[in-house]
């Protein structure tokens, strides 16, 4: 029987870049420079290059005619197509998660929500995006549905890169944590219907902030 090996540097780079895409670290159409990524992650260029090639093969990144590797441009049309799917799946995950949270896990989610509040008040976009992702996937993982989690992960890889624009919207900037608090309160009182509803509202509020920043269609 083959022994299980630790993740290669290429695999680690692949997952790190994927995480960064979900957190909005990489802006659509901004080149991902191998040398810069290697320096940021503290590894050589080869595993970064292999990770980027893998992401290109999965159509999560695209190669421009000048051979630059970028996150694909998001259009309003594509974003609107993805939003109902996100709302349905992520709302479902929140509903399924409610009864599976232990009291200790709810306390941890409460602490995380407070941390999100702190960075939101400072208008710390980078800090918010990291903690926002942690909050959402803490809830989604508690649904204990691996297939559902895979689908949500895939959707976040598509929409995550545009999240960097959230704090460009004045209304969102001052209400970034509202629905997180509502989701937490629903989980605390074991109200699955409300948790799903507030999760869908969170997605809708973010969409309204982001849509004006995108072109209507490709080439518009």
Sequence ranges of the chain with CATH classification 1.10.10.10? 9-70
Supply the pLDDT for residue 161: 92
Supply the pLDDT for residue 7: 73
SS (HEC) of the chain:
CCCCCCCCHHHHHHHHHHHHHHCCCCCCCCCCCHHHHHHHHCCCHHHHHHHHHHHHHCCCCEECCCCCEECCCCCHHHHHHHHHHHHHHHHHHHHHHHHHCCHHHHHHHHHHHHHHHHHHHCCCHHHHHHHHHHHHHHHHHCCCCHHHHHHHHHHHHHHHHHHHHHHHCHHHHHHCCHHHHHHHHHHHCCCHHHHHHHHHHHHHHHHHHHHHHCCCCCCC
Sequence ranges of the chain with CATH classification 1.20.120.530? 76-213
Residues in the chain predicted with pLDDT less than 50, given as ranges, are: 1-5
Supply the pLDDT for residue 2: 41
User: What pLDDT digit, counting tens, does each position of 37-82 carry?
Assistant: 999 999 999 999 999 999 999 999 999 999 999 999 999 999 999 9
CATH class of the domain whose range is 76-213: mainly alpha
Burial (0-12, 13-18, 19+ Cβ within 10 Å), 151: middle
| CA angle centred on 157, ends 154 and 161, rounded to 5° | 160
CATH class of the domain whose range is 9-70: mainly alpha
Cα gap 61→157, rounded to integer Å: 10
User: What pLDDT digit, counting tens, does each position of 193-203 carry?
Assistant: 999 999 999 99
């Amino acid at each position: 029987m083959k022994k299980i090996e630790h993740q290669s540097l290429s695999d680690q780079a692949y997952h790190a870049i994927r995480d960064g895409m979900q957190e909005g670290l990489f802006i659509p159409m901004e080149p991902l420079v191998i040398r810069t990524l290697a320096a940021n992650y503290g590894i050589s260029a080869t595993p970064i290059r292999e990770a980027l090639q893998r992401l290109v093969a999965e159509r999560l990144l695209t190669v421009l005619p000048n051979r630059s590797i970028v996150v694909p441009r998001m259009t309003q049309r594509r974003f609107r197509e993805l939003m109902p799917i996100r709302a349905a799946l992520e709302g479902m995950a929140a509903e399924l998660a409610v009864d599976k949270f232990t009291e200790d896990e709810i306390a941890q989610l409460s602490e995380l929500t407070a941390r999100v509040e702190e960075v939101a008040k400072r208008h710390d976009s980078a800090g918010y995006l990291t903690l926002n992702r942690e909050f959402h996937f803490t809830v989604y993982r508690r649904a204990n549905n691996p297939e559902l989690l895979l689908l949500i992960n895939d959707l976040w890889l598509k929409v995550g890169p545009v999240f960097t624009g959230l704090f460009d919207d004045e209304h969102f900037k001052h209400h970034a944590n509202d629905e997180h608090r509502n989701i937490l309160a629903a989980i605390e009182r074991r109200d699955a219907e409300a948790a799903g509803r507030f999760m869908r509202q969170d997605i809708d509020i973010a969409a309204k902030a982001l849509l004006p920043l995108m072109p209507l269609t490709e080439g518009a």
